[in-house]
Amino acid sequence: MTAGDQDVRQADRLTWLRLVAFSLPGVCIGAVAVAVPVFLPRYYAGHFKLGLGAVGAVFMAVRLFDMLIDPVIGVLMDRTRTALGRYRPWMIAGAPMLMAPIYMLFAPPLPVSVTYLVGWLLAYYVGWSLIVLSHTSWASVIAGHYHERSRVFGTIQIVGVLGAVAVLVLPVASAALGGSPNNDLLLMGGFIFIAAPAGILLAATLTPERIVARHRTETFRLRDYWELASRRDMRRIIVADFCLTMGPGWMSALYLFYFHDSRGFTIADASKLLLIYIAAQVIGAAALSALAQRLGKHRTQMLAAVGYSLGLLAVTFLPPGDFPLAALFMSIMGFVAAGFVPLDRAMVADVGDAVRLETGHNRVGLLYSMITTVQKLALALSIGLSFTVLGWIGYRAEDGAHNTAAAIHGMEWVYLLGPVVFVMLGAACYIGYALDARRHAEICAGLAARDAAAA
Protein backbone atom coordinates (compact mmCIF):
# COMPACT_ATOMS: atom_id res chain seq x y z
CA MET A 1 0.00 0.00 0.00
CA THR A 2 1.42 3.38 -0.98
CA ALA A 3 1.64 6.44 1.24
CA GLY A 4 -0.90 8.08 -1.04
CA ASP A 5 -3.72 5.66 -0.25
CA GLN A 6 -2.84 4.46 3.24
CA ASP A 7 -5.74 4.84 5.66
CA VAL A 8 -4.73 6.47 8.92
CA ARG A 9 -6.48 8.64 11.42
CA GLN A 10 -4.01 11.52 11.20
CA ALA A 11 -0.77 12.36 9.43
CA ASP A 12 2.60 12.62 11.10
CA ARG A 13 3.75 16.11 12.03
CA LEU A 14 5.42 17.70 9.01
CA THR A 15 8.90 19.13 9.31
CA TRP A 16 9.11 22.87 8.82
CA LEU A 17 10.69 22.41 5.40
CA ARG A 18 7.89 20.18 4.16
CA LEU A 19 5.26 22.38 5.77
CA VAL A 20 6.59 25.43 3.93
CA ALA A 21 6.64 23.45 0.67
CA PHE A 22 3.04 22.39 1.24
CA SER A 23 2.08 26.02 1.93
CA LEU A 24 3.50 27.35 -1.36
CA PRO A 25 0.14 27.36 -3.23
CA GLY A 26 -0.71 30.06 -0.72
CA VAL A 27 1.55 32.44 -2.66
CA CYS A 28 -0.87 32.67 -5.59
CA ILE A 29 -3.90 32.50 -3.26
CA GLY A 30 -2.59 35.43 -1.23
CA ALA A 31 -1.68 37.39 -4.35
CA VAL A 32 -5.12 37.08 -5.95
CA ALA A 33 -6.78 37.81 -2.59
CA VAL A 34 -5.32 41.32 -2.84
CA ALA A 35 -5.08 41.92 -6.58
CA VAL A 36 -8.62 40.84 -7.51
CA PRO A 37 -10.81 42.59 -4.89
CA VAL A 38 -8.63 45.69 -4.35
CA PHE A 39 -7.26 46.56 -7.79
CA LEU A 40 -9.41 44.78 -10.38
CA PRO A 41 -12.77 46.47 -9.59
CA ARG A 42 -11.22 49.93 -9.53
CA TYR A 43 -9.42 49.46 -12.85
CA TYR A 44 -12.46 48.04 -14.63
CA ALA A 45 -14.77 50.70 -13.16
CA GLY A 46 -12.44 53.67 -13.67
CA HIS A 47 -9.68 53.04 -16.19
CA PHE A 48 -11.74 50.75 -18.44
CA LYS A 49 -14.83 52.96 -17.86
CA LEU A 50 -17.38 50.24 -17.14
CA GLY A 51 -18.76 52.23 -14.20
CA LEU A 52 -19.13 51.57 -10.48
CA GLY A 53 -22.65 50.16 -10.68
CA ALA A 54 -21.88 47.76 -13.53
CA VAL A 55 -18.64 46.45 -12.01
CA GLY A 56 -20.17 46.04 -8.56
CA ALA A 57 -23.13 44.17 -10.03
CA VAL A 58 -20.86 41.90 -12.09
CA PHE A 59 -18.67 40.92 -9.15
CA MET A 60 -21.70 40.25 -6.98
CA ALA A 61 -23.67 38.31 -9.60
CA VAL A 62 -20.76 36.11 -10.65
CA ARG A 63 -19.91 35.27 -7.07
CA LEU A 64 -23.50 34.44 -6.22
CA PHE A 65 -23.72 32.07 -9.20
CA ASP A 66 -20.28 30.55 -8.68
CA MET A 67 -20.82 29.75 -5.01
CA LEU A 68 -23.31 27.05 -6.06
CA ILE A 69 -20.40 25.13 -7.60
CA ASP A 70 -18.35 24.74 -4.42
CA PRO A 71 -20.57 22.16 -2.66
CA VAL A 72 -20.45 19.96 -5.77
CA ILE A 73 -16.66 20.16 -5.84
CA GLY A 74 -16.50 19.41 -2.11
CA VAL A 75 -18.60 16.26 -2.42
CA LEU A 76 -16.58 15.01 -5.38
CA MET A 77 -13.32 15.62 -3.50
CA ASP A 78 -14.49 13.64 -0.47
CA ARG A 79 -15.41 10.71 -2.75
CA THR A 80 -12.08 10.73 -4.63
CA ARG A 81 -9.62 7.89 -4.11
CA THR A 82 -6.62 7.70 -6.42
CA ALA A 83 -3.01 6.59 -6.29
CA LEU A 84 -2.10 10.29 -5.97
CA GLY A 85 -4.39 10.79 -3.00
CA ARG A 86 -7.78 12.39 -2.45
CA TYR A 87 -7.07 16.11 -2.78
CA ARG A 88 -3.77 16.29 -4.68
CA PRO A 89 -5.28 15.61 -8.16
CA TRP A 90 -7.83 18.39 -7.68
CA MET A 91 -5.18 20.92 -6.75
CA ILE A 92 -3.06 20.00 -9.78
CA ALA A 93 -6.11 20.36 -12.03
CA GLY A 94 -6.78 23.78 -10.58
CA ALA A 95 -3.51 25.30 -11.84
CA PRO A 96 -4.37 25.62 -15.56
CA MET A 97 -7.98 26.48 -14.73
CA LEU A 98 -6.72 29.49 -12.75
CA MET A 99 -3.92 30.59 -15.07
CA ALA A 100 -6.07 31.16 -18.17
CA PRO A 101 -8.57 33.58 -16.58
CA ILE A 102 -5.79 35.36 -14.69
CA TYR A 103 -4.11 36.12 -18.00
CA MET A 104 -7.33 37.34 -19.60
CA LEU A 105 -8.41 39.47 -16.63
CA PHE A 106 -5.07 41.14 -15.98
CA ALA A 107 -4.02 41.58 -19.62
CA PRO A 108 -7.37 42.22 -21.33
CA PRO A 109 -7.60 43.15 -25.01
CA LEU A 110 -9.10 46.61 -25.37
CA PRO A 111 -11.88 47.56 -25.35
CA VAL A 112 -13.36 45.39 -22.60
CA SER A 113 -17.06 44.81 -22.05
CA VAL A 114 -19.27 43.73 -19.17
CA THR A 115 -19.79 40.36 -20.90
CA TYR A 116 -16.02 39.85 -21.11
CA LEU A 117 -15.65 40.58 -17.38
CA VAL A 118 -18.50 38.21 -16.47
CA GLY A 119 -17.13 35.27 -18.45
CA TRP A 120 -13.55 35.43 -17.26
CA LEU A 121 -14.48 36.20 -13.65
CA LEU A 122 -16.61 33.07 -13.56
CA ALA A 123 -13.73 30.97 -14.96
CA TYR A 124 -11.37 32.53 -12.40
CA TYR A 125 -13.60 31.68 -9.44
CA VAL A 126 -13.91 28.04 -10.53
CA GLY A 127 -10.11 27.68 -10.73
CA TRP A 128 -9.74 29.47 -7.40
CA SER A 129 -12.23 27.10 -5.78
CA LEU A 130 -10.40 24.00 -6.98
CA ILE A 131 -7.11 25.18 -5.51
CA VAL A 132 -8.39 26.60 -2.22
CA LEU A 133 -10.78 23.71 -1.46
CA SER A 134 -8.23 21.00 -2.20
CA HIS A 135 -5.44 22.80 -0.33
CA THR A 136 -7.43 23.46 2.85
CA SER A 137 -8.98 19.98 2.86
CA TRP A 138 -5.55 18.41 2.43
CA ALA A 139 -4.23 20.60 5.26
CA SER A 140 -6.90 19.26 7.62
CA VAL A 141 -5.59 15.73 7.01
CA ILE A 142 -1.97 16.76 7.53
CA ALA A 143 -2.83 18.45 10.83
CA GLY A 144 -4.67 15.96 13.02
CA HIS A 145 -4.39 17.64 16.42
CA TYR A 146 -6.21 20.74 17.70
CA HIS A 147 -3.08 22.86 18.27
CA GLU A 148 -1.18 21.43 15.30
CA ARG A 149 -3.87 22.89 13.06
CA SER A 150 -3.04 26.35 14.35
CA ARG A 151 0.56 25.74 13.27
CA VAL A 152 -0.30 24.39 9.82
CA PHE A 153 -2.98 26.93 8.90
CA GLY A 154 -0.87 29.71 10.41
CA THR A 155 2.05 28.76 8.15
CA ILE A 156 -0.24 28.70 5.11
CA GLN A 157 -1.43 32.18 6.05
CA ILE A 158 2.15 33.47 6.41
CA VAL A 159 3.07 32.17 2.96
CA GLY A 160 -0.12 33.66 1.55
CA VAL A 161 0.74 37.02 3.08
CA LEU A 162 4.17 36.88 1.45
CA GLY A 163 2.43 36.32 -1.88
CA ALA A 164 0.21 39.34 -1.22
CA VAL A 165 3.25 41.43 -0.28
CA ALA A 166 5.05 40.40 -3.44
CA VAL A 167 2.15 41.37 -5.69
CA LEU A 168 1.84 44.72 -3.90
CA VAL A 169 5.54 45.48 -4.23
CA LEU A 170 5.24 45.39 -8.01
CA PRO A 171 3.16 48.59 -8.50
CA VAL A 172 5.16 50.39 -5.79
CA ALA A 173 8.45 49.46 -7.45
CA SER A 174 7.05 50.33 -10.86
CA ALA A 175 5.99 53.79 -9.64
CA ALA A 176 9.45 54.36 -8.11
CA LEU A 177 11.05 53.53 -11.46
CA GLY A 178 8.72 55.89 -13.32
CA GLY A 179 6.44 53.20 -14.72
CA SER A 180 2.87 53.88 -15.72
CA PRO A 181 0.09 52.90 -13.28
CA ASN A 182 -1.72 51.43 -16.27
CA ASN A 183 0.87 48.62 -16.28
CA ASP A 184 0.14 47.57 -12.68
CA LEU A 185 -2.46 44.99 -13.69
CA LEU A 186 -0.07 43.41 -16.17
CA LEU A 187 2.68 43.11 -13.56
CA MET A 188 0.33 41.57 -10.98
CA GLY A 189 -1.16 39.13 -13.43
CA GLY A 190 2.28 38.02 -14.61
CA PHE A 191 3.38 37.29 -11.04
CA ILE A 192 0.25 35.23 -10.28
CA PHE A 193 0.53 33.41 -13.62
CA ILE A 194 4.01 32.17 -12.63
CA ALA A 195 3.43 31.61 -8.91
CA ALA A 196 0.37 29.36 -9.30
CA PRO A 197 1.91 26.41 -11.18
CA ALA A 198 5.27 26.69 -9.39
CA GLY A 199 3.76 26.54 -5.90
CA ILE A 200 1.30 23.77 -6.74
CA LEU A 201 4.01 21.65 -8.36
CA LEU A 202 6.29 21.88 -5.32
CA ALA A 203 3.47 21.17 -2.85
CA ALA A 204 2.18 18.20 -4.84
CA THR A 205 5.67 16.76 -5.26
CA LEU A 206 7.08 17.18 -1.75
CA THR A 207 4.05 16.57 0.50
CA PRO A 208 2.64 13.13 1.37
CA GLU A 209 -1.11 12.67 1.40
CA ARG A 210 -2.81 10.04 3.49
CA ILE A 211 -6.50 9.26 3.18
CA VAL A 212 -8.37 9.13 6.49
CA ALA A 213 -10.37 6.02 7.22
CA ARG A 214 -14.11 5.97 6.60
CA HIS A 215 -16.48 3.59 8.32
CA ARG A 216 -19.61 3.94 6.23
CA THR A 217 -20.42 3.90 2.55
CA GLU A 218 -19.68 7.29 1.02
CA THR A 219 -23.15 8.43 -0.04
CA PHE A 220 -24.49 11.95 -0.12
CA ARG A 221 -27.97 13.39 0.15
CA LEU A 222 -29.00 17.03 -0.04
CA ARG A 223 -30.31 16.62 3.47
CA ASP A 224 -26.73 15.90 4.60
CA TYR A 225 -25.65 19.36 3.46
CA TRP A 226 -28.32 21.01 5.56
CA GLU A 227 -27.56 18.84 8.58
CA LEU A 228 -23.88 19.80 8.44
CA ALA A 229 -24.60 23.49 7.94
CA SER A 230 -27.13 23.55 10.79
CA ARG A 231 -24.81 21.96 13.36
CA ARG A 232 -24.34 24.34 16.28
CA ASP A 233 -20.55 24.51 15.94
CA MET A 234 -20.54 24.76 12.14
CA ARG A 235 -23.35 27.29 12.14
CA ARG A 236 -21.32 29.59 14.37
CA ILE A 237 -18.26 29.27 12.13
CA ILE A 238 -20.26 29.91 8.97
CA VAL A 239 -21.83 33.12 10.28
CA ALA A 240 -18.55 34.29 11.84
CA ASP A 241 -16.62 33.58 8.65
CA PHE A 242 -19.18 35.50 6.62
CA CYS A 243 -18.82 38.53 8.89
CA LEU A 244 -15.02 38.31 9.17
CA THR A 245 -14.79 38.14 5.38
CA MET A 246 -17.41 40.80 4.74
CA GLY A 247 -15.71 43.39 6.94
CA PRO A 248 -12.19 43.31 5.42
CA GLY A 249 -13.70 42.74 1.95
CA TRP A 250 -15.78 45.91 2.33
CA MET A 251 -12.67 47.79 3.41
CA SER A 252 -10.64 46.41 0.48
CA ALA A 253 -13.27 47.40 -2.08
CA LEU A 254 -13.26 51.05 -0.94
CA TYR A 255 -9.65 51.24 0.23
CA LEU A 256 -8.12 53.18 -2.68
CA PHE A 257 -11.05 55.58 -2.87
CA TYR A 258 -10.88 56.28 0.87
CA PHE A 259 -7.14 56.75 1.23
CA HIS A 260 -6.87 58.89 -1.89
CA ASP A 261 -9.92 61.16 -1.60
CA SER A 262 -10.40 61.24 2.18
CA ARG A 263 -6.98 60.66 3.73
CA GLY A 264 -5.13 62.67 1.08
CA PHE A 265 -2.62 60.05 -0.06
CA THR A 266 -1.48 59.48 -3.60
CA ILE A 267 -2.31 56.11 -5.14
CA ALA A 268 1.38 55.18 -4.80
CA ASP A 269 1.43 56.03 -1.07
CA ALA A 270 -1.91 54.28 -0.53
CA SER A 271 -0.40 51.18 -2.15
CA LYS A 272 2.58 51.44 0.22
CA LEU A 273 0.25 51.60 3.21
CA LEU A 274 -1.62 48.57 1.93
CA LEU A 275 1.73 46.83 1.56
CA ILE A 276 2.50 47.61 5.21
CA TYR A 277 -0.93 46.30 6.23
CA ILE A 278 -0.35 43.04 4.37
CA ALA A 279 3.29 42.66 5.46
CA ALA A 280 2.29 42.98 9.13
CA GLN A 281 0.20 39.85 8.66
CA VAL A 282 3.38 37.77 8.39
CA ILE A 283 4.19 38.53 12.03
CA GLY A 284 0.51 38.54 12.97
CA ALA A 285 -0.16 35.08 11.55
CA ALA A 286 2.76 33.60 13.49
CA ALA A 287 1.88 35.42 16.71
CA LEU A 288 -1.84 34.64 16.58
CA SER A 289 -1.12 31.02 15.73
CA ALA A 290 1.03 30.80 18.87
CA LEU A 291 -1.58 32.65 20.92
CA ALA A 292 -4.30 30.28 19.71
CA GLN A 293 -2.31 27.37 21.11
CA ARG A 294 -2.63 29.00 24.54
CA LEU A 295 -6.05 30.63 24.51
CA GLY A 296 -7.84 28.49 21.94
CA LYS A 297 -8.71 29.41 18.38
CA HIS A 298 -12.11 30.99 19.03
CA ARG A 299 -10.92 33.25 21.87
CA THR A 300 -7.98 34.43 19.79
CA GLN A 301 -10.37 35.19 16.94
CA MET A 302 -12.52 37.35 19.22
CA LEU A 303 -9.52 39.37 20.42
CA ALA A 304 -8.31 39.88 16.85
CA ALA A 305 -11.73 41.16 15.72
CA VAL A 306 -11.89 43.72 18.53
CA GLY A 307 -8.36 44.92 17.75
CA TYR A 308 -9.18 45.26 14.06
CA SER A 309 -12.25 47.38 14.71
CA LEU A 310 -10.42 49.68 17.13
CA GLY A 311 -7.60 50.16 14.62
CA LEU A 312 -10.03 51.02 11.83
CA LEU A 313 -11.75 53.59 14.03
CA ALA A 314 -8.41 55.14 15.00
CA VAL A 315 -7.36 55.69 11.37
CA THR A 316 -10.34 58.02 10.82
CA PHE A 317 -9.01 60.44 13.45
CA LEU A 318 -5.48 60.68 12.04
CA PRO A 319 -4.37 63.89 10.29
CA PRO A 320 -4.79 63.56 6.50
CA GLY A 321 -1.59 62.71 4.66
CA ASP A 322 0.34 61.68 7.80
CA PHE A 323 2.13 58.63 6.42
CA PRO A 324 4.04 57.52 9.59
CA LEU A 325 0.92 57.49 11.79
CA ALA A 326 -1.16 55.83 9.09
CA ALA A 327 1.55 53.20 8.63
CA LEU A 328 1.54 52.46 12.36
CA PHE A 329 -2.20 51.84 12.57
CA MET A 330 -2.33 49.97 9.27
CA SER A 331 0.35 47.62 10.60
CA ILE A 332 -1.69 47.04 13.76
CA MET A 333 -4.80 46.28 11.73
CA GLY A 334 -2.88 43.93 9.45
CA PHE A 335 -1.38 42.16 12.46
CA VAL A 336 -4.74 41.30 14.01
CA ALA A 337 -6.52 40.61 10.70
CA ALA A 338 -4.03 37.81 10.03
CA GLY A 339 -6.02 35.45 12.22
CA PHE A 340 -9.38 35.69 10.51
CA VAL A 341 -8.82 33.16 7.70
CA PRO A 342 -6.49 30.51 9.23
CA LEU A 343 -8.26 30.21 12.58
CA ASP A 344 -11.68 29.75 11.02
CA ARG A 345 -10.33 27.11 8.65
CA ALA A 346 -8.58 25.32 11.49
CA MET A 347 -11.86 25.22 13.41
CA VAL A 348 -13.63 23.72 10.39
CA ALA A 349 -11.11 20.86 10.46
CA ASP A 350 -12.06 20.25 14.12
CA VAL A 351 -15.72 20.06 13.11
CA GLY A 352 -14.74 17.60 10.39
CA ASP A 353 -13.35 15.25 13.04
CA ALA A 354 -16.53 15.55 15.10
CA VAL A 355 -18.64 14.75 12.03
CA ARG A 356 -16.50 11.72 11.19
CA LEU A 357 -16.82 10.40 14.75
CA GLU A 358 -20.60 10.86 14.79
CA THR A 359 -21.45 9.67 11.27
CA GLY A 360 -18.51 7.59 10.03
CA HIS A 361 -18.28 9.82 6.94
CA ASN A 362 -15.36 11.98 5.88
CA ARG A 363 -17.02 15.29 4.97
CA VAL A 364 -14.13 17.72 5.26
CA GLY A 365 -14.22 18.73 1.59
CA LEU A 366 -17.94 19.47 1.85
CA LEU A 367 -17.43 21.43 5.06
CA TYR A 368 -14.75 23.57 3.45
CA SER A 369 -16.97 24.11 0.44
CA MET A 370 -19.44 25.76 2.83
CA ILE A 371 -16.72 28.12 3.98
CA THR A 372 -15.55 29.03 0.47
CA THR A 373 -19.20 29.51 -0.54
CA VAL A 374 -19.73 31.85 2.38
CA GLN A 375 -16.52 33.72 1.58
CA LYS A 376 -17.59 34.17 -2.04
CA LEU A 377 -20.99 35.42 -0.93
CA ALA A 378 -19.40 37.87 1.52
CA LEU A 379 -16.88 39.19 -0.99
CA ALA A 380 -19.57 39.48 -3.66
CA LEU A 381 -21.81 41.48 -1.34
CA SER A 382 -18.92 43.57 -0.02
CA ILE A 383 -18.11 44.85 -3.52
CA GLY A 384 -21.67 44.92 -4.87
CA LEU A 385 -23.26 46.64 -1.86
CA SER A 386 -20.44 49.10 -1.14
CA PHE A 387 -20.19 50.18 -4.78
CA THR A 388 -23.99 50.49 -4.98
CA VAL A 389 -24.10 52.70 -1.89
CA LEU A 390 -21.30 54.87 -3.30
CA GLY A 391 -23.39 55.36 -6.41
CA TRP A 392 -26.43 56.32 -4.30
CA ILE A 393 -24.51 59.06 -2.46
CA GLY A 394 -23.20 60.49 -5.71
CA TYR A 395 -19.58 59.40 -5.47
CA ARG A 396 -17.80 59.12 -8.85
CA ALA A 397 -14.96 56.65 -9.50
CA GLU A 398 -13.87 57.55 -13.05
CA ASP A 399 -10.24 58.57 -13.56
CA GLY A 400 -9.95 62.31 -12.94
CA ALA A 401 -13.54 62.66 -11.67
CA HIS A 402 -14.30 65.48 -9.21
CA ASN A 403 -16.26 64.56 -6.09
CA THR A 404 -18.05 67.03 -3.86
CA ALA A 405 -17.26 67.30 -0.16
CA ALA A 406 -20.63 65.71 0.64
CA ALA A 407 -19.89 62.72 -1.60
CA ILE A 408 -16.47 62.23 0.01
CA HIS A 409 -17.94 62.54 3.51
CA GLY A 410 -20.57 59.94 2.62
CA MET A 411 -17.89 57.64 1.27
CA GLU A 412 -16.02 57.94 4.58
CA TRP A 413 -19.05 56.71 6.52
CA VAL A 414 -19.62 53.87 4.07
CA TYR A 415 -15.97 52.84 4.39
CA LEU A 416 -16.04 52.87 8.19
CA LEU A 417 -19.38 51.45 9.26
CA GLY A 418 -19.45 48.31 7.10
CA PRO A 419 -16.19 46.75 8.33
CA VAL A 420 -16.67 47.64 12.01
CA VAL A 421 -20.23 46.30 12.21
CA PHE A 422 -19.49 43.03 10.44
CA VAL A 423 -16.22 42.26 12.21
CA MET A 424 -17.74 42.80 15.64
CA LEU A 425 -20.68 40.57 14.72
CA GLY A 426 -18.13 37.92 13.73
CA ALA A 427 -16.50 38.16 17.15
CA ALA A 428 -19.87 37.80 18.88
CA CYS A 429 -20.50 34.49 17.10
CA TYR A 430 -17.79 32.80 19.18
CA ILE A 431 -19.19 33.71 22.58
CA GLY A 432 -19.81 30.34 24.26
CA TYR A 433 -18.20 28.26 21.47
CA ALA A 434 -17.75 24.72 22.83
CA LEU A 435 -15.45 22.80 20.44
CA ASP A 436 -12.22 23.71 22.26
CA ALA A 437 -8.98 21.78 22.80
CA ARG A 438 -10.43 19.60 25.56
CA ARG A 439 -13.47 18.58 23.50
CA HIS A 440 -11.35 17.94 20.42
CA ALA A 441 -9.03 15.68 22.42
CA GLU A 442 -12.05 13.58 23.37
CA ILE A 443 -13.06 13.38 19.69
CA CYS A 444 -9.56 12.29 18.67
CA ALA A 445 -9.58 9.60 21.36
CA GLY A 446 -12.89 8.29 20.05
CA LEU A 447 -11.60 8.21 16.46
CA ALA A 448 -8.43 6.42 17.54
CA ALA A 449 -10.42 3.75 19.39
CA ARG A 450 -12.73 3.15 16.47
CA ASP A 451 -9.89 3.01 13.93
CA ALA A 452 -8.03 0.53 16.14
CA ALA A 453 -11.12 -1.65 16.44
CA ALA A 454 -11.63 -1.59 12.68
CA ALA A 455 -8.01 -2.55 12.08
The domains of the chain, with CATH numbers, are 16-209+226-395+404-454 (1.20.1250.20)
- Long-range residue pairs from 397-404, CB within 8 A, at least 24 positions apart, any chain: 397/42, 397/45, 397/46, 397/51, 397/52, 397/257, 398/45, 398/46, 398/49, 399/46, 399/47, 403/261
What does the pLDDT profile of the chain (455 residues) look like in tens digits?
333 333 333 445 778 888 899 999 999 998 998 888 778 887 888 778 888 778 888 888 887 787 778 888 888 888 888 888 888 999 999 999 999 999 999 988 878 889 999 999 999 989 988 999 899 888 888 876 777 888 888 889 889 889 988 888 887 787 777 766 667 788 899 999 999 999 999 999 988 776 655 544 455 566 777 788 888 999 999 999 999 999 998 888 888 888 988 888 887 788 888 889 988 988 998 899 889 988 999 999 999 999 999 998 888 888 888 999 999 999 999 999 988 988 998 899 899 889 888 888 878 888 888 888 888 888 878 877 888 888 888 887 766 678 888 888 888 898 888 899 999 999 999 999 999 889 988 998 888 888 777 76
Its pTM surpasses 0.85: no
Q: Which of 215, 200, 330 is nearest to 278 (CA)?
A: 330
Q: What are phi and psi of 293, to 5 degrees?
A: -75, -15
